[in-house]
Amino acid sequence: MIFYPEERLAIFIDGANLYSAARGLAFDIDYRRLLELFSTKGRLIRAFYYTALVEDQEYSPIRPLVDWLDYNGYAMVTKPTKEFTDAMGRRRIKGNMDIELAIDMLEMASYIDHAILFSGDGDFRRLVEAVQRKGVRVSVVSTIRSSPPMVSDDLRRQADNFIELQDLAPSLMRNHQIREDINRARAEPVDEA
């Protein structure tokens, strides 16, 4: 990771994409630790989190996370999902946040030096290119180590830096997982050949 202490940073998290990438690597993100990590890399101006919400459910499993993030330093960008019926007559739910993320990153470009995009979605390649033309460095955080890889090759090549999510796992995983990993390592026999 290449960061400079005087840089003004902004984080842009595609919530659904990051969740899928972390699940593919079998760990949960601790969002407080994520903010702490990137706060040490430069002057963190803003951390955006993007997600669509199902409005008509009594309980949404993502609602507690959204509320926690909102009270703990993240700028939440949400919108209700849309329901539609596909050509096969199946009920589908759609909640794409790409446009909201793209607009916010373009608007923030004149106030930051470095954008950190947590997404592997290849649709963001042109956004990254446009922000780079404004003089902003862009780091993409995703993974090529999951099966299938979660990052588009085009997006990875366009970014100034690609940060492998699995390499960040020890700094970002929830504490209970760290304790489980330590306990598992202690329980494994050591081969002293």
Domains of the chain, CATH where assigned: 8-171 (3.40.50.1010)
pLDDT of residue 193: 47
| Cα distance between residue 181 and residue 142, in whole Å | 22
pLDDT of residue 74: 97
**Following CA atoms 95, 97, 98, 100 in sequence, which dihedral angle do they give, to the nearest 10 degrees?**
140
Asked if the peptide bond before residue 149 counts as cis, ω within 30 degrees of 0, the response is no
- Written as one string, the DSSP assignment of the chain is ----TT-EEEEEEEHHHHHHHHHHTT--B-HHHHHHHHHTTSEEEEEEEEEEE-SS-S--TTHHHHHHHHHTT-EEEEEE-EEEE-TTS-EEEE---HHHHHHHHHHHGGG-SEEEEE---GGGHHHHHHHHHTT-EEEEEE-SSSSS-SS-HHHHHHSSEEEEHHHHHHHHB-HHHHHHHHHHHHHSPP---
Name residue 137's beta-bridge partners.
114
| Nearest residue to 31 (alpha-carbon basis) of 60, 64, 8, 80 | 64
Pairing relationship of beta strands 91-94 and 82-85 according to DSSP bridges: antiparallel
Predicted TM-score (pTM) of the model is 0.86
| Nearest residue to 31 (alpha-carbon basis) of 64, 74, 2, 62 | 74
| Cα distance between residue 54 and residue 154, in whole Å | 31
Q: 79 with 95: CB under 8 angstroms? A: yes
pLDDT of residue 143: 97
Per-residue pLDDT of the chain (193 residues; tens, 9 = 90+): 799 999 999 999 999 999 999 999 999 999 999 999 999 999 999 999 999 888 766 667 788 999 999 999 999 999 988 777 878 888 777 778 999 999 999 999 999 999 999 999 999 999 999 999 999 999 999 999 998 999 999 999 999 999 999 999 999 998 755 445 445 555 555 455 4
